[in-house]
Amino acid sequence: MAIDPLASPLPGPLPPWSPLVIAEDRCKGCELCIAACPKSVLALDAGVVNRLGYHPVRLLDAERCTSCAFCARVCPDVVFTIYAPRREA
Amino acid sequence: MERSVVFAGFGGQGLLFAGQVLARAGLEDGLEVFWIPSYGPEMRGGTASCTVIVGDEPIGSPVVDRADAVVAMNLPSLEKWGPRVAPGGLLIVNASLVDETARRLDVDELRLACTELAAEAGDDKLVTVVALGALVGRTGWVDDEAVRIALRDIVGRKRPAALAADLAAFELGLAAGAREPVPA
Amino acid sequence: MQGNGHGASERRAGARHHRVLMKGNEAIAEAAIQAGCDAYFGYPITPQAELLEWMARRMPELGRVFLQAESELGAINMALGAAAAGARVLVSSSSPGISLMAEAMSYMAGQQTPVVLVNVMRGGPGLGSIQPSQGDYFQAVKGHGHGDYKVPVLAPASISEAVDLVPLAFELAERYRTPTMLLADGILGQAMEPVELRFRTPERRPADWALTGAAGRPPRVIRSLDLQPEDLERHNLELQAKFREIARREVRWSGQQLGDAELVIVAYGTAARVARTAIRRARASGLRVGLFRPITLWPFPERELARLSARVRGLLVVELSAGQMVEDVRLAVEGRCPVAFHGRMGGMVPTPDEVVEALRGLQARVGRRPRRAPAIPAPEPPPLPRPARSSEQPAAPFEGDGWSRLEPAEPTPTAAGAGRPLATAGRHGRNGGAR
Amino acid sequence: MSVASLSERPTRVIYQRPELLCETSTRYCPGCGHGIIHRLIAEVLGELQLGPRTIAVAPVGCSVFAYDYLQLDFVESPHGRAPAVATGIRRVRPENFVLMYQGDGDLAAIGTAEIVHAAARGELITGVFVNNGIYGMTGGQMAPTTLLGQRTTSSPTGREASLAGYPIRITEMLAQLPGVAYAARGTIVDPSAIGKTRAMLKRACQVQLEGGGFALVEILSNCPVGWGMTAQESLEHIRREVIPAYPPGVIVDRGRTATTAPSISVEA
């Protein structure tokens, strides 16, 4: 199923805006995205073990992410959904 | 009742063709027929043979251990098939090429100068058509008119120019087969 | 008009339009075409090359697919792909080529892909000879490739029967979603016999599994892999249930002169024809012999044979092999009567006289002792399993005399333009023993 | 499934999972290139709207499970026979798009005859050839494409030419055949290379749609587990060792081959 960004927001307080949505449970912690990220804003979250048994990747700083999507291009597991930077939206 | 004949000789003597004409004639006659060539590399030269079985009920064994008739168009064929003619059966030998005989007293050995007869018909290559004529003339296993129909059908369609000689060769063989005295 | 009088020409007029002389390979090919074969894939090998050649000429004429593959591996896998895409597909080869196809046969059995495969058997093992053989019986009925599976195997004994069995093979393949084999041999492939131009085109059943592109429906996957043993066992159980269903419904066989028979020859295909001539000779010498001819080698007519074995003195199995079907015969008979064997190998064909000799040997072995009480009851057989559809010929009764299950049980000599009495002597009344 | 986190205003999606790719996680090892390549296929087929028309052939090897990940009609092929299976489909379903996915053992060892002849016939098939120089599924044995000196479980001291011959550049070999309309080699080593590979895949699909002929894209991929490396090291290995042996780029783009094979249409 495709993500529809125009769908009604979920009830409750909104999480902080992020250009990057990480499907945490798909991540296998291969770190290819971390190497590919030009801004070095990705890292594995050693404090979490996901459903597959890996430390999933995290976005460290949403403000510095440029939505270049390099992480998504190198990811073998389609972990990332990328949105345009806020100023562009 | 089944009757079997083996046409054997060199590749190129028209053995498979003669067998096909006989089978086709049997079909014309409403008989059950079976035709099988010796197959494999030998079909491109050397010895060749085919077996035809005609009968009034579905044909049984495709392997002929005792042939009711053998048409031996060269010496190796006579040596191979001569002993396998059923007692009382017919052995047609191409006397144009073969001087030897089967040395059997229990078969009807018909010696025909096939090359000369074929030449008389207009094409000295039609040696086995002559022998086919003799076989039909001698045995009556199929109706001779059925053979003419088969020749017209097979030859007439593919190489109509050759039909007249084929028919003539068949007639000469037919007459020879019917005319030659059967040894007592 | 000499010799045959008026009748011959009348028969001629009647026969001409109905029967043509066809080579076995070509007749099988044409029967497949008439059965609606969409695609043919093959590779040259003696003695089936004429089948490929016939298809090469005819299929493009009809706007259908003919492709000469790079190998038998290529051919059978092209067939796998085309059948997976819903086409009615024929593949043919001869023994060594069939061995190369074994892998794909296993895949197709697992994936349930309907393909008809013709094996025009030749002598083996290895490159062997190009002469006729029945040495591939084990391969055909016990499985070609790996894994637990069976495929229906149809064994014609004449070219006209082959023509009848080709559409049946497509029907079985599609009804049960299974590869199906037509097991012929070099003689049936190379010989010419009359064929009635009366072909059959099986109905198309909706292939709701075929790959057509996942447009407006969920994707379909045709596969045999299942790494979960529980799942694969479940799949196997489904396959086995299908095989039981085939075994229950699709047994076909033919009998000849079984009514008074003390000895019965069990033979299929070309060997059954040799047996037929041998039976004629044996009966002339006082032996009471009949013929039991399996038409489906799998499913094997084991119950019918078991019943028969309870009321005869002995069985003689004749094969163009070292003895393969004889094992299934012995399994079916379960010791109820002696089972003898006569076979030739490597492209040799048993002669009728050899078979008569083997019958004499069997007769001497079983002697004149009375037939012991049958181990299973009912010398009168219960109704035989019948093919699924009424349009098909019922399984032959014991006393049937025809070659084909599609022929009447007792063919009358004058029926269907066939069988005028053959001249038993030459034109001069002196041929055939008059010396 | 994650839900788009939206703040004040809706935001344009730059990248998301292509529709033809299933949501399920793959069984591939972490960092395995098959996942990237599957995604590229799903993207390209989606972009060309080929999903509902495609019949795909899955090979034997790790990628046998491609049918679990791509929302396409699939048939599983015996090892190496995918080009023959695809040929059978192609000939009876001209209206469909035929895709074939093979590994190096499948295509360049056991299935060389099938690939050569499908290519020679100019079959309208698009082939994706994943070259990671190893038999991954069976535990990392030497493949036809394994580099000289490369250690595998069946070349424990490194591949020696005197024993095991030389690696095969089969895409270059196939490109010699006039039936091949398009042959190219890409890699997955970085975002830019992945973008180029995606463009090659798209071209290889278009070639089929245009009736051009056989199209093949070889993709230099990795096998971190089989190579005994981290994912990142494996990409570095491709850059340093594999690319010099198998130079990326378009090898041939003939647009259209001389002839294309006839086929028929079957109702089903």
| pLDDT at position C379 over 70 | no
Give the span between the Cα atoms of B13 and B18, in whole angstroms: 9
User: How far is residue C79's CA from residue C90's CA, in Å, rounded to a whole number?
Assistant: 7
Q: Which amino acid is at A2?
A: A
- Please tell me the distance from the alpha carbon of residue C108 to that of residue C102, in angstroms, as a whole number: 10
Rg of chain A in Å (alpha carbons)? 13
- The rounded distance, in Å, linking the Cα atoms of B167 and B21 is 12
Distance CA C204, CA B86 (A): 52
Question: Do chains A and C touch, with touching meaning 3 or more CB–CB pairs less than 8 Å apart?
Answer: no
Query: Is D2 near chain A, with CB under 8 Å?
Result: yes
Cβ contacts of D106 on chain C, cutoff 8 Å:
none
Residues in chain C, overall count: 435
Q: End-to-end CA distance of chain D, in Å?
A: 36
Angstrom distances, CA of residue B71 to CA of A19, B90, C428 = 94, 8, 19
* Terminal Cα-to-Cα distance of chain A (whole angstroms): 23
Nearest to B65 by CA among C281, C84, C92: C281
Question: Residue B38 half-sphere exposure, CB side, CA atoms within 13 Å?
Answer: 20
d(C-alpha D46, C-alpha D18), whole Å:
7
What is the per-residue pLDDT across B64-81, written as a single tens digit (0 to 9) for each? Answer: 888 999 999 999 999 999
CB C422 within 8 A of CB B31: yes
Q: How many angstroms separate the CA of residue D3 from the nearest CA in chain A? A: 7
Q: What does the pLDDT read at residue C388? A: 41
**Tokens coding D218:** 């070889």
| Per-residue pLDDT, C222 | 97
Residue D28 half-sphere exposure toward CB, CA atoms < 13 A: 32
Closest CA to C386 of C296, C269, C272, C306: C296
8 A C-beta contact, residue B179 and residue C35: no
CA distance C52 to C35: 16
- Among C221-230, C361-370, C377-386, D97-106, name the one with the lowest average pLDDT: C377-386
CB-CB neighbors (< 8 A) of C3 in chain B: 140, 143-144
Cβ–Cβ of C65/D264 closer than 8 Å? yes
pLDDT in tens, C129-172: 999 999 999 999 998 899 999 999 999 999 999 999 999 999 99
| Closest residue to C77, CB basis, from D53, D74, D88 | D88
Measured CA to CA, the distance from residue C2 to residue B41 in angstroms comes to 40
8 A C-beta contact, residue C268 and residue C404: no
Q: Which amino acid is at D14?
A: I
Predicted confidence (pLDDT) at residue D4 exceeds the cutoff of 50: no
Distance from C-alpha of C87 to C-alpha of C207, rounded to nearest angstrom: 9
Report chain D residues whose CB lies below 8 A from the CB of C111. Answer: 75-76
The candidate with the shortest Cα–Cα distance to C222, out of C237, C233, C207, is C207
For residue C9, what pLDDT is reported?
Answer: 54
Cα(D125)–Cα(D97) distance, integer angstroms: 8
* Block residue for tokens 């027929």: B33
Which residues are paired to A42 by β-bridges?
Answer: A59
What per-residue confidence (pLDDT) applies to D223? Answer: 95
Which among D12, A34, B55 has a CA at the least distance from the CA of C276? B55
Q: In DSSP terms, which residues pair with C292 in a beta bridge? A: C255, C266
Distances (CA, A) of B134 to B74, B83, B93, C425: 16, 20, 10, 15
Interacting residues of B152 by C-beta distance below 8 A, sequence separation 6+: B163, B167
- Report which of residues C181 and A13 the model is more confident about: C181
Number of other residues whose CB lies within 10 A of the CB of residue D68 = 14
Give how far D192 is from chain A: nearest CA, Å.
9
Q: Report the C-alpha gap between C316 and C338 in whole angstroms.
A: 8
Residue D41 has pLDDT above 80, yes or no: yes
Q: Verify whether the Cβ–Cβ distance C38 to D266 is below 8 Å.
A: yes
Q: Mind giving me the DSSP string for C391-408?
A: TSPPPPPTT---SSTTS-
B60 touches chain C (CB under 8 A): yes
Phi/psi at C425 (nearest 5 deg)? -130, 170
Q: Do D15 and A81 touch (CB under 8 A)?
A: yes
Decide: pTM greater than 0.80: yes
| Tokens representing residue C55 in the block | 């298809």
Cβ C251 vs Cβ C295: under 8 Å: no
Q: Please give the span between the terminal C-alpha atoms of chain B, in angstroms, as a whole number.
A: 25
Cα dihedral across residues B133, B137, B142, B145: positive or negative: positive
Range C17-28 average pLDDT:
90
D216, D161 contact by CB (below 8 A): no
Give the pLDDT of residue D10: 57
Q: Are strands C65-68 and C39-42 parallel, antiparallel or unpaired?
A: parallel
Q: Comparing C144 with C83, which gets the higher pLDDT?
A: C83
Specify the 3-state DSSP secondary structure of B95: coil
Two tokens, residue B139: 């045995």
- Is D102:D77 a contact under the CB 8 Å cutoff? no
> CA of B63 to nearest chain C CA: how many angstroms apart?
6
For C343, the 3-state DSSP assignment is strand
| Mean pLDDT confidence for D99-128 | 97
389-408 in chain C: CB under 8 A from chain B? 402-403
Q: What is the pLDDT of residue A87?
A: 64
pLDDT at B184 over 80: no
Q: Which two tokens stand for residue C268?
A: 């299929």
Q: Is B101 on the interface with C (CB under 8 A)?
A: no
Chain D contact for A47 (CB, 8 A cutoff) = no
Q: Is the pLDDT reported for residue C352 higher than 80?
A: yes
| B179: confidence class by pLDDT, cuts 50, 70, 90 | confident
Whether C99 and chain B come into contact, CB under 8 Å, resolves to: no
Positive or negative: CA dihedral C359, C364, C368, C373 = negative
Note whether B18 contacts C: Cβ–Cβ < 8 A.
no
Confidence category of residue C434, pLDDT binned at 50, 70, 90: very low
Q: Is the dihedral of CA C81, C82, C85, C87 positive or negative?
A: negative
Query: Binning pLDDT at 50, 70 and 90, where does residue D171 land?
Result: very high
Alpha helices in C16-94 (DSSP H): 24-34, 49-61, 72-84
Helix (H, G, I), strand (E, B) or coil at A23: coil
Q: Which residues of D touch A3 (CB under 8 A)?
A: 2-4, 13, 16-17
> Rounded to the nearest 5 degrees, what angle is found at the Cα of C157, between the Cα atoms of C152 and C162?
65
Tokens 């894939």 locate to C41
CB B68 within 8 A of CB B82: no
Q: Do D74 and D57 touch, CB atoms closer than 8 A?
A: yes
Q: What pLDDT, in 10s, does the model give residues C163-207? A: 999 999 999 999 999 999 999 999 999 999 999 988 999 999 999
Neighbouring subunits of B (3+ Cβ pairs under 8 A): C
Q: Would you state the structure tokens that stand for residue D83, as one six-digit string? A: 């080009």
- Mean pLDDT value of segment B9-25: 94
CB A18 within 8 A of CB A59: yes
pLDDT of residue D228: 93
Under an 8 A CB cutoff, do B23 and C430 touch? no
Instruction: Output the pLDDT for position C403.
Output: 41
What confidence score (pLDDT) does residue C332 get?
A: 97
CB of C5 less than 8 A from some CB of B: no
Rounded Cα distance between D55 and C214, Å, is: 8
Query: pLDDT at residue C378 above 50?
Result: no
